[in-house]
């Protein structure tokens, strides 16, 4: 690889390391990439490894998904791939992209683009370009505007992406105003890359994001949702979230986050809810077992969104947020619905927000075994995440208080384990099933069976398992009280 421009002396060592990373990564994929490049050249076309693939190769983190660009149109790309690729897909054909698989690598080959954008929706209107330089100029950021030509491995970097990669800065190939004017979603992508790569945005980019934040309103909820999800699942989501709030972008699609910046009273009777929330998100990340747990991170982000609406100041000057978990669950459900998250994901996050305060009070010795059973039953499959969220929510600087809260939760988990060893807490069900209820009461399927089932479940939660005879006695007692039997 040859450099597009000579590095600054201070950067030379780091750039050399980046180039070594790229060489190692390219050697790994070269048998496939170079062979594909030769096929395109023989057909009279160009092929370049491009965008995120080059960036990730330089960072030493190239995966098995490779992005290419070419002057060949989709029909010609298909002809070149047939007989060579193990499988081919055309789902991106309308955008000039043909997909293929070879030797465990997923390849996407896209015709040079010189696209414009619909001035209402800001969705791309595909226009094929004629040169690599034209294609690179229309890309979002300089670190994504580098290419390696195949099979000769010629490096092209017309916008200084290598320098920006070394400096860990996010900058646009054209002016930020022009770039974001083409596609406002790029403002959110800037925050996303800051979170994923731990990079800083260039001051000019930050300024344009702030001035043009309202343009994000022209982007569909689904596109915003997908970028935000990637941001929250980044290696450093806090940096990305701060960017969203500081530039005003969060106000366009997640105003509840900005709303957490409550005015702190002069006596500091409550902590900074916004900073507390970011700390909880950071804590939640540290509790993840493997990879990003989006449900946990989103619940951590939204767990206190009900506080602004429930803030009250008592006669003693103390601030309270009574029932903010109830209000927060309602706000969470509405916001995630507006962002077009799937119902299943929304339900899980909403449930965690509703349950995140349930633990408090346990340390005062108020919980019976019945309360523990209800805690487990209400959490259901979310119990492991609820454990992590509750622990993440402890952000006090008072070491003694923090230690006591941790000890209390340790005790609760131990108690859950003890009761679970005696009972099947993961599947708390009545001691009689529907068939047994119908047989004993002599009733057909219907509302009565449901009411009886619910009554027996309440008994199960309150008293633990009952044997068959005791369960039947309790069911008949309830049925007599309901006037169902003599």
Q: What is the pLDDT of residues 349-383, one digit of tens each?
A: 999 999 998 887 665 666 777 778 778 878 888 99
Residue 457: which pLDDT band, with cuts at 50, 70 and 90? confident
Alpha carbon separation from 474 to 161, 436, 449, 458 (Å, rounded): 74, 13, 14, 11
Cα gap 372→311, rounded to integer Å = 29
106 and 27 within one domain:
yes
401 and 442 within one domain:
no
- Provide the pLDDT for residue 10: 38
Number of domains making up the chain: 4
Asked whether residue 288 carries a pLDDT value surpassing 50, the answer given is: yes
Q: What is the mean pLDDT of residues 8-36?
A: 70
443 and 411 within one domain:
no
User: Is the Cβ–Cβ distance between 45 and 70 less than 8 Å?
Assistant: yes
Domain containing 439 equals 434-481
Name which residue leads in pLDDT, 185 or 429.
Answer: 185
Q: What token pair was written down for 285? A: 């990340």
Asked whether residue 315 carries a pLDDT value surpassing 90, the answer given is: no
Asked whether residue 122 carries a pLDDT value surpassing 70, the answer given is: no
451 and 440 within one domain:
yes
131 and 20 within one domain:
yes
Environment class of 299 (CB within 10 Å of its CB; exposed 0-12, middle 13-18, buried 19+): buried
Domain boundary, last residue among 135, 167, 199? 167
- Provide the pLDDT for residue 103: 94
Residue 269 lies in a domain: no
Domain boundary, last residue among 145, 167, 189? 167
Neighbours of 389 (CB within 10 A): 25
The region of weakest confidence among 177-181, 216-220, 396-400, 462-466 is 462-466
User: Is the Cβ–Cβ distance between 394 and 363 less than 8 Å?
Assistant: no
Pick from 269, 262, 254, 341: nearest CA to 302:
254
- Write the DSSP string, 423-439: S-GGG---SS-HHHHHH
184 and 306 within one domain:
no
Q: At 185, which CATH number? A: 1.10.110.30
206 and 115 within one domain:
no
Residue 266 lies in a domain: no
Tell me the range of 17-26, 172-181, 400-409 where mean pLDDT is highest.
172-181
User: Is the Cβ–Cβ distance between 124 and 95 less than 8 Å?
Assistant: yes
Q: Which residues contact 364 (CB under 8 A, 6 or more apart)?
A: none
In whole angstroms, what separates CA 155 from the centre of its chain? 34
Residue 174 lies in a domain: yes
146 and 59 within one domain:
yes
Name which residue leads in pLDDT, 417 or 242.
Answer: 242
Residue 84 lies in a domain: yes
User: Is the Cβ–Cβ distance between 145 and 136 less than 8 Å?
Assistant: yes
Domain boundary, last residue among 235, 253, 271? 253
Q: Which residues contact 108 (CB under 8 A, 6 or more apart)?
A: 65, 66, 67, 68, 92, 97, 98, 99
210 and 68 within one domain:
no
Residue 148 lies in a domain: yes
Residue 52 lies in a domain: yes
Q: What token pair was written down for 382? A: 């979310």
Q: What is the pLDDT of residues 371-421, one digit of tens each?
A: 787 788 788 889 999 999 999 998 877 788 888 888 888 888 888 887 776
Residue 463: which pLDDT band, with cuts at 50, 70 and 90? low
Asked whether residue 9 carries a pLDDT value surpassing 50, the answer given is: no
Cα gap 142→169, rounded to integer Å = 9
91 and 49 within one domain:
yes
Residue 276 lies in a domain: no
369 and 242 within one domain:
no
- Provide the pLDDT for residue 119: 54
Asked whether residue 439 carries a pLDDT value surpassing 80, the answer given is: no
Cα gap 321→127, rounded to integer Å = 54
- Provide the pLDDT for residue 265: 42
Pick from 380, 191, 210, 352: nearest CA to 284:
352
Environment class of 77 (CB within 10 Å of its CB; exposed 0-12, middle 13-18, buried 19+): buried
- Provide the pLDDT for residue 115: 58
Cα gap 453→437, rounded to integer Å = 8
Environment class of 420 (CB within 10 Å of its CB; exposed 0-12, middle 13-18, buried 19+): middle
Cα gap 309→439, rounded to integer Å = 50
List, in sequence order, every residue forming a beta bridge with 141; answer none if it has no partner: none
Q: At 126, which CATH number? A: 3.30.460.10
Place of tokens 């929706």: 121
411 and 443 within one domain:
no
Residue 267 lies in a domain: no
User: Is the Cβ–Cβ distance between 307 and 295 less than 8 Å?
Assistant: no
Characterize 39-58 residue by residue with b for buried, 16 or more Cβ atoms within 10 angstroms of its Cβ, and e for exposed. Answer: bbeeeebbbbbbbbbbbbbb
- Provide the pLDDT for residue 8: 40
The region of weakest confidence among 110-114, 191-195, 317-321 is 317-321
Residue 464: which pLDDT band, with cuts at 50, 70 and 90? low
């Amino acid at each position: 690889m040859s450099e597009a421009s000579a590095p600054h002396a201070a950067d030379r060592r780091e750039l050399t390391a980046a180039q070594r990373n790229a060489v190692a990564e390219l050697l790994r994929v070269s048998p496939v990439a170079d062979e594909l490049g030769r096929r395109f050249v023989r057909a009279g076309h160009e092929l370049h490894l491009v965008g995120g693939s080059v960036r990730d190769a330089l960072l030493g983190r190239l995966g098995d998904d490779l992005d290419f660009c070419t002057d060949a149109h989709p029909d010609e790309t298909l002809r070149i791939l047939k007989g060579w690729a193990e499988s081919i897909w055309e789902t991106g054909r309308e955008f000039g992209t043909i997909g293929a698989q070879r030797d465990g690598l997923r390849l996407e080959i896209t015709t040079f683009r010189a696209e414009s954008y619909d001035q209402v929706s800001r969705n791309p209107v595909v226009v094929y370009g004629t040169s690599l330089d034209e294609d690179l100029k229309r890309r979002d950021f300089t670190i994504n505007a580098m290419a390696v030509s195949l099979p000769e491995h010629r490096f092209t970097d017309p916008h200084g992406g290598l320098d920006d990669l070394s400096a860990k800065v996010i900058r646009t190939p054209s002016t930020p105003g022009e770039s974001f004017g083409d596609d406002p979603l790029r403002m959110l992508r800037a925050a996303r890359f800051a979170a994923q790569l731990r990079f800083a945005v260039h001051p000019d980019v930050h300024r344009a994001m702030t001035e043009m934040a309202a343009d994000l309103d022209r982007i569909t909820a689904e596109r915003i949702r997908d970028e935000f999800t990637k941001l929250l699942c980044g290696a450093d989501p806090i940096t990305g979230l701060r960017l969203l709030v500081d530039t005003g972008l969060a106000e366009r699609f997640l105003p509840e986050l900005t709303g957490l910046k409550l005015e702190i009273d002069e006596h500091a009777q409550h902590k900074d809810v916004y900073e507390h929330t970011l700390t909880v998100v950071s804590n939640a990340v540290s509790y993840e077992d493997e990879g990003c747990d989006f449900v946990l991170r989103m619940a951590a982000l939204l767990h206190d969104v009900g506080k602004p609406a429930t803030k009250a100041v008592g006669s003693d000057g103390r601030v309270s947020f009574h029932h903010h978990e109830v209000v927060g669950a309602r706000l969470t459900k509405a916001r995630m619905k507006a962002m077009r998250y799937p119902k299943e994901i929304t339900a899980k996050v909403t449930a965690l927000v509703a349950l995140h305060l349930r633990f408090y009070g346990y340390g005062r010795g108020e919980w019976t075994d019945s309360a523990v059973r209800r805690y487990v039953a209400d959490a259901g499959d979310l119990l492991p995440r609820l454990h992590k969220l509750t622990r993440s929510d402890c952000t006090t600087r008072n070491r003694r208080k923090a230690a006591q809260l941790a000890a209390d939760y340790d005790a609760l988990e131990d108690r859950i384990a003890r009761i679970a060893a005696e009972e099947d807490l993961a599947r708390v069900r009545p001691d009689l099933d529907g068939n047994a209820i119908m047989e004993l009461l002599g009733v057909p399927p219907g509302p009565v069976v449901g009411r009886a089932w619910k009554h027996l479940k309440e008994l199960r939660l309150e008293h633990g398992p009952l044997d068959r005879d005791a369960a039947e006695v309790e069911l008949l007692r309830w049925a007599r009280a309901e006037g169902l039997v003599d």
